[in-house]
Amino acid sequence: MATTRRRKNVEQSKENEQPSTAQANSTEPTANAGSSVFEIAGVGLISLTTSAIVASTMMRLGPQYLEPVYGNVLPYINYQWYVLASVLYGAALGAVYCRRNITAGPKRLGMAISHAFDLICIMMATAPLRLKYMFSLVETLGPNYGPHIIQLTFGYPVFIAIGFIMSVVSFWAGYSPVSPSRSLVTVFGAFLGQLLICTAGYTYVTPQRSCEAALLLGVNVAIASIIIKLVTEYFVGVNTTPAGQTQNQDRKKSKSGGLNIRIWPIAFCIATGVLTMFTDPQCARAVTPSHQKNPLQMVLSRAESATGWVDVVATEKAGHKMKVLRSGHSIVGGIWEETSESIFGVFYYMDAVKYARDPKAKGQERALQIGLGAGITTRSLYNENVLVDIVELDPAVYQAAIDYFKVPKEITAVYLQDGRKFMEDALDHTYDYIVHDVFTGGSVPAALFSKEALQHAKRILKPGGILSLNFVGEVGSGKSFDYVVRTLRSVFSHIRCFADTKPDGDSIANIVFFASDRPIKFHIPDHIAKPRPSEQTTRTHILSGMMDMELDIDKYIGDNSAGEIITDTYNPLSQFQIPSAIKHWQIMRDTFPSTFWNNY
């Protein structure tokens, strides 16, 4: 009997030492089990800050990197929608991952975040080399889908990773199986808040040198990844140390097994970045020997500036040497080296603005040039003793025009700023002529073609002053031409229009408008209209035959003479220019080979 009692007492004591099944299962693991508020806030803050920097930078950097081979229109078409789709896809992947690993503890979630940052780091570090190869396929990929196919190897995977990170952070901070419906609202709110912060950050990101921006972004992300790994391994890991194992043992195990994993992303980024900066000519700050390997396509100067890549290239056409000014995926001007005349005859149409006023007019004439390009018209007006004020947004364009295209250095009234802002601040009745030539990269700045912008141009012109406006687009079949005509007519009483080629179907043309509040009649001097054989030049040839290239505006605008105009509040010009941008891209590809465009 005594033995039996002893056994019962022993069994009862064991039962008392063991927790009941209900007690053992009373607390289910959650996403933030074992995490303190400090740990969650630390990882969340680092992730949110880094994600906002990456997302806002890539929103600008993604299309910017493609600008030298696709221009300033095609890379932006629907880009924001593909970015949003990528983020949401990444968020869905993150949600699936969290649901499957919600009971695994915060350490696994923290490591998932850091590994996603590692992926971004690798994508950024290898971007220049990867895109160099993709750019060699541009002509095969074409202008319509090519930019997005290239972004599948550059920008879109980064946004997928960002969406994944934001989703995991939101689940970690807000999800609990005890109240799933309420916690899902918290998770969604946290995700939406992160998305809004990332979107708002885009406003404060200024353009950077694309190659350097990608490499520096990779290093920044690698550092963030290391910090998150340290937090999750040393802080979260302490709170989730298995029973029977000391915290020091767990830390030693973490140190010995995770050191290489923590270090190799940043080591890889730095090594790849240094190698790329010294070997990739597109990442160099100046002209390198690699840019001058082909004697028929020698880069004389290059700069990545406010409007993208600006290069001066010495090349040949039909055995004649010339220098061209490249801006992105467009040639905005050039001169023949033998004669220093423009390679584009249509630019001399704008010189005619000087001959559209009464030749008997007296006094010093003054002109405003908005958009310098290679400075063809600026040189002509200066040689006609006209005082010229230059307004150019991009300092690199102005410097190239001075150094390589013989724009007179004596012109000191140079304003490196936005043309619209300059006109808004200029005094009334200041200029006899305004030369408005802002086409670049396949499009024009739409804000400079609105009714309000043209009203400012009219205000700062003297009575009887002339506006000369260059526009590239479709005539007859494109809405952009109709809108520009109607907008000009809403401001000026008289307009005339000339094209470099007679419109043919849906082809695009360089179109030069002349607008004034008085009838426009050209008085071209005899030495230009009827030059001696020894005085014949490209300029005299173009100006003497200019009247044969005048367009009957009413014929081409047809029944669309009455309709909407371009205003600051309604400006569809950017959207209307997409077909012209695609055709312009193809013209540029037909004019110069892919080796020309890839050598920047």
The residues annotated with a catalytic role in the active site are 437
CA angle 206, 209, 214 (to 5 degrees): 95
Cα–Cα distance measured from residue 312 to residue 295, given in angstroms and rounded to the nearest whole number: 14
Give the closest residue to 170 by CA, choosing from 182, 186, 187, 195: 187
308-317: strand order across its sheet: 297-305, 308-317, 320-327, 331-336
H or E segment and range at residue 471: strand 461-474
How crowded is the C-beta side of 90, counted as CA atoms within 13 Å? 31
Ramachandran category for residue 308: left, alpha or beta (phi over 0 → left; psi -120 to 50 → alpha): left
Mind giving me the DSSP string for 483-551?
HHHHHHHHH-SEEEEEESS---TT-EEEEEEEEESS-------HHHHS--GGG--HHHHHHHTGGGGB-
Structure tokens at 221: 């992300």
Structure tokens at 133: 């190869």
Mind giving me the DSSP string for 392-409?
-S-HHHHHHHHHHS---T
3-state secondary structure of 342: strand
Q: What are phi and psi of 562, to 5 degrees?
A: -110, 125
Query: Locate tokens 């980024």: which residue?
Result: 269
Query: Locate tokens 């990882």: which residue?
Result: 43
Beta bridge partners of 496: 514
Cα–Cα distance measured from residue 111 to residue 597, given in angstroms and rounded to the nearest whole number: 42
Cα–Cα distance measured from residue 128 to residue 141, given in angstroms and rounded to the nearest whole number: 19
E-strand spans in 202-357? 297-305, 308-317, 320-327, 331-336
3-state secondary structure of 326: strand
Beta bridge partners of 513: 469, 497
Burial of 278 (0-12, 13-18, 19+ CB in 10 A): exposed
